Structure 1
């Protein structure tokens, strides 16, 4: 959805290594972590894409989301403080 929102202009790296086919996690558990990466991350930096990695094996699920933090201007900070 974010690719559509930003005209396919954001940089995302996604990888998965799922050997545990019957792994289950509660619905929408990981969504907040991914949303925060888009909300607070620099989305247009090709050298530092939003990275989403998931690995499931040996009865464990490892999930990693990383991003370069967006630089905030004083104007944006003031707008958020008013809310």
Structure 2
């Protein structure tokens, strides 16, 4: 099954704090323990683009989590 055209809610955790305007269109939360959490709805192409941007900026990736809806299924 091809999931490239489906949108999912993702949460990406980074080490350190980043500027919120680096990730326009996404929710950026700066946590007091020194992590940044970026959240948003995106397809696979957008996710890969975001991960490439994180790498290119030299940021430390902690985790990537895809969330399912309240029924336990993804939005397909």
TM-score grouping bracket, smaller chain normalisation = under 0.3
Q: Which has the higher contact order (CA 8 A, sep 6+)?
A: 2
Answer with 1 or 2: which has the greater Rg.
1
TM-score in terms of structure 1 length: 0.26
Higher helix share: 1
